[in-house]
Amino acid sequence: MFEQRNGILFIGGCSSLDLAASFGTPLYVMDETVIRENCRSYLAAFAAYPAAEVLYASKACMNRSICRIIEEEGLSLDVVSGGELHTALAVGYPPQRIYFHGSNKTLAEMEYALEAGIGCFVVDSGRELNLLSGLASRRGRAARLLLRVTPGIEAHTHEFIRTGQLDSKFGFPLATGQAMEAVEQALRLPFLELAGVHCHIGSQILDTEPFVLAAEVMLDFLAQVRAKTGSALTVLDLGGGLGIHYVDEDDPPTIAAYAASIVAKVREKTEALGLPTPRLLVEPGRSIVGEAGVTLYSVGTIKEIPGVRTYLSVDGGMGDNPRHALYGSRYRALLANKAGFAPRMRVTVAGRHCESGDILIRNLELPAAAEGDILAVLATGAYNYSMSSNYNRFPRPAMVLVGGGRAELIVRRETYADLEALDLVPDRLGAGRPTALPAAGEE
Ligand code: LLP
């Protein structure tokens, strides 16, 4: 996806300097080819399994164009909110291929999803079971669902993105018997069609073992369900979580290796337990879009504190990428206009938000940097745009889709007008008289 021509970084065949000049910085750049290749790798990796379905976890990066690409590639979709669902429906995503997750769905969201005819709910609590049963009864049509189970597996990843352990806000714990109770409740309630079970053990997982373990635990559970209730549930959804390459130390399994390890375990275990071959679902987010993304920033202030540290400030920060501030996540980066130049300095890349914690990268080796250079931070395609904010009222960056030397805007840059568009001023405060605006405000 990257190329270097005369010291200039090219992404998807486009000069990153031209992209920065045409679309401004900060800029999210997404390489379409990489996204499509990852989708195809997932489909190919599970092709040998009799019934597999790959869902894109849209929380990783969602907008109308990304959604179109995912749909064209034939993946199904995981949404967790009315907003994600709405975006999918807005571009004609087939509702039968949409799965609705979320740990506290509102009644309005559930009604919206039922009305839209989505294929399946992933139910997270007894409250949701009752709500769904009630709504489906009123419509006179059964709702299809999976139950989210917490299998009690501790994946070795950051505490905030670990979700499979017993002490979690998500799902029905296996260990306490609540998962079995939920199955029984779902089988008892009218107008519910319980298809199977789901788990998601965490994110940015860099080996296959936790996934294999999850498959094992979940299949044991399906066997217990059959023994206790006589029902053979047919869907096993193992969630997402495959990690990507952020920094040199990250060595994630390939998509093929990940799939092969799961498929082998599912085959072996179903045979041992005498279970029918389940329909197997996975829900990758990060590993579809993460490495397809690069964020371009302009370098501003460079502050050297002799003997302490050099801060290199860029024109974005935690507003467009909160991941270092939140999880201590690490990234690689380079100067897009000095690609391949020898390292000359070690810097801490800081954003321009009013917080000391607004750091993007610590201890980055760079060639001699100067104001106006373009810094390219790599592997920012997942959970950057989707977790962005307007903190300090900075407008959010644009997103451009590149591929084969073509660049197209898919999210336009926010303007100051966008920032105030939702504000309302009660009459008693008066409208205020706008100060004469300078002709070209910096937006
Ligand atoms: N399925 C479920 C039910 C999930 O909760 C998630 C992610 C996924 C699939 C997709 O996981 P992935 O393949 O992307 O690892 N904001 C955090 C990541 C939170 C992940 C939440 N759930 C970050 O920036 O690292």
The pair of structure tokens assigned to 110 is 């559930």
Rounded to whole angstroms, how far apart are CA atoms 353 and 309?
19
CA nearest ligand 1 atom 23, residue: 383
Atom of ligand 1 nearest to the CA of 122: 3
Which residues are CB-contacts of 183 (< 8 A; sequence separation ≥ 6)? Answer: 147, 194, 197, 225, 229, 231, 233
pLDDT value at position 110? Answer: 98
Co-location of 333 and 236 in the same domain: no
First to last CA, the chain: 30
CA nearest ligand 1 atom 6, residue: 240
pLDDT value at position 439? Answer: 65
314 Cα–ligand 1 center, Å: 27
**pLDDT level of residue 4 (50, 70, 90 thresholds):** very high
Instruction: Give me the mean pLDDT over the 324-350 stretch.
Output: 98
pLDDT value at position 137? Answer: 98
Total number of domains constituting the chain:
2
240 Cα–ligand 1 center, Å: 6
Is 0.85 surpassed by the pTM of this model?
Answer: yes
Instruction: Give me the mean pLDDT over the 91-120 stretch.
Output: 97
Name every protein residue with a CB atom under 6 angstroms from any ligand 1 atom.
57, 59-60, 78, 101, 161, 200, 203-204, 239-242, 283-287, 323, 327, 382-383, 387
213 Cα–ligand 1 center, Å: 18
Active site residue ranges: 354
Find out whether the peptide bond into 26 is cis, omega within 30 degrees of 0. yes
The residue to mutate among 54, 203, 321, having the most atoms of ligand 1 within 8 angstroms of its beta carbon, is 203
Question: By percentage, how much of the chain surpasses pLDDT 70?
Answer: 97
Instruction: Give me the mean pLDDT over the 406-423 stretch.
Output: 97
Least confident span in 105-119, 141-155, 247-261, 281-295: 141-155
User: Given a cut of 70, is residue 183 above it in pLDDT?
Assistant: yes
Q: What are the C-alpha distances in Å from 20 to residues 6, 324, 351, 369, 397?
A: 17, 23, 17, 17, 11
Instruction: Give me the mean pLDDT over the 321-332 stretch.
Output: 98
Instruction: Give me the mean pLDDT over the 267-292 stretch.
Output: 97
| pLDDT tens for each residue of 51-93 | 999 999 999 999 999 999 999 999 999 999 999 999 999 999 9
pLDDT value at position 163? Answer: 62
The residue to mutate among 35, 283, 323, 384, having the most atoms of ligand 1 within 8 angstroms of its beta carbon, is 283
With 0-12 CB in 10 A as exposed, 13-18 as middle and 19+ as buried, what is 230? Answer: exposed
Q: Look at residue 424 and tell me if it is in a domain.
A: no
**pLDDT level of residue 435 (50, 70, 90 thresholds):** confident
Q: Are 100 and 120 in contact (CB under 8 A)?
A: yes
Co-location of 106 and 23 in the same domain: no
348 Cα–ligand 1 center, Å: 27
Co-location of 163 and 83 in the same domain: yes
User: Given a cut of 70, is residue 170 above it in pLDDT?
Assistant: yes
Co-location of 281 and 398 in the same domain: no
Co-location of 61 and 99 in the same domain: yes
User: Given a cut of 90, is residue 258 above it in pLDDT?
Assistant: yes
- Host domain of residue 79: 32-288
pLDDT value at position 161? Answer: 56
Atom of ligand 1 nearest to the CA of 55: 9
CATH number of the domain at 347, please.
2.40.37.10
Last residue of a domain, one of 260, 288, 316: 288
User: Given a cut of 90, is residue 167 above it in pLDDT?
Assistant: no
Which residues are CB-contacts of 430 (< 8 A; sequence separation ≥ 6)? Answer: none
Task: Locate the DSSP E strands across 82-187.
Answer: 98-100, 120-123, 143-150, 172-173
**pLDDT level of residue 153 (50, 70, 90 thresholds):** confident
Across the chain, mean pLDDT equals 95
